[in-house]
Amino acid sequence: MKLRFLLPLLAWLAAAPALAACPRIVSQSPYLTAALEWLGQGRCIVGVSRYDKHDLPKTGGVMDPDADVLAILQPELLVTVDWVRPETLAQALPQGTRSLRLGGFGSIAESEQVLRTLAVASRMSDADAPVRRFRRAWQAAARRVGGKGERVLVLSACSGEPYAFGRQHYIGDAFARAGFEVVDHSAGVRHLRAGEELADIPALVARFKPDIVFSLSHESSVACNAALGAVKARIVSLRGENFFHPGPPLLQGYRELAASLKS
């Protein structure tokens, strides 16, 4: 590691307060960082991935954790997503560091389980209490959306190739729980590109004939797919970051969704 990166890191470590009864955690994904903070365990985090905006030592990406920084931080626990290969983690982790590979992208119930796992791993005294709190909050927020069985497609078409979320994905499940009929029942994410069963947005809309198309955009999006303008259905644009990250951000997502339907 270059000295100009090493010195600020060592200075940060020297100034960091001792975290009594709190494991030293590296969060390798922003959605896990957000979940730990929502649990009130943000104080446990000593390092984050390059994707995070927090002013903490950066520990590389999901697929390429930085072994040099991890060796300096000596975390007790590293939490990451479940698509990273176990052998990749094993090569990067310091001796004695445990790792958790977590999901949350299959359903809201799965995201609740992630919260509980993080609560246990961060040594909360009552790991079930925050899960119950989140469940009550998202269920109340979903009811306030007031979906009436409208047929909907949920897609992201504002960066690169467009893709849609099926009923068996966390995002599809979230819209179904808010009272909509998510008409694409595919598992996970459906990519719309040449060679696929449905190659583009017009083909997707023609197949499923939705009443509403919800378009989720990234903060960094410059422009959305022009095909959205030709869709013969109501288009509702939403901030994707409220839905892309499983767990507590959904509460703000439901508030935005409810407001957008009243406008």
Number of domains in the chain: 2
Whether residue 152 sits in one domain with residue 94:
no
Whether residue 252 sits in one domain with residue 178:
yes
Q: Pick the last residue of a domain from 70, 102, 134.
A: 102
Whether residue 245 sits in one domain with residue 180:
yes
Residue 213 lies in a domain: yes
Residue 30 lies in a domain: yes
Q: Pick the last residue of a domain from 38, 68, 102.
A: 102
Whether residue 151 sits in one domain with residue 229:
yes
Alpha carbons 202 and 138: distance in angstroms, whole number = 32
The predicted structure's pLDDT at residue 218: 74
The predicted structure's pLDDT at residue 98: 96
CATH of the domain at 232: 3.40.50.1980
User: Per-block average pLDDT, block size 10, for the chain (263 residues)?
Assistant: 48 47 93 95 96 93 95 97 92 95 95 96 94 97 96 86 91 97 92 89 92 84 62 88 93 96 82
Whether residue 239 sits in one domain with residue 170:
yes
Alpha carbons 22 and 171: distance in angstroms, whole number = 32
Whether residue 96 sits in one domain with residue 161:
no
Residue 81 lies in a domain: yes
Q: What is the pTM of this model?
A: 0.86
Which domain range does residue 254 map to?
146-262
Whether residue 230 sits in one domain with residue 172:
yes
The predicted structure's pLDDT at residue 159: 65
Q: Pick the last residue of a domain from 50, 79, 102.
A: 102
Alpha carbons 211 and 229: distance in angstroms, whole number = 15
163: nearest Cα among 235, 81, 225: 225
The predicted structure's pLDDT at residue 231: 77
Residue 114 lies in a domain: no
Question: Are 234 and 213 in contact, with CB atoms under 8 Å apart?
Answer: yes
DSSP assigned state of 220: T
Question: Are 70 and 39 in contact, with CB atoms under 8 Å apart?
Answer: no
Residue 164 lies in a domain: yes
Residue 36 lies in a domain: yes
Whether residue 151 sits in one domain with residue 94:
no
Residue 121 lies in a domain: no
Residue 108 lies in a domain: no
The predicted structure's pLDDT at residue 222: 52
Whether residue 162 sits in one domain with residue 96:
no
Question: Are 56 and 76 in contact, with CB atoms under 8 Å apart?
Answer: no
Whether residue 155 sits in one domain with residue 97:
no
The predicted structure's pLDDT at residue 106: 94
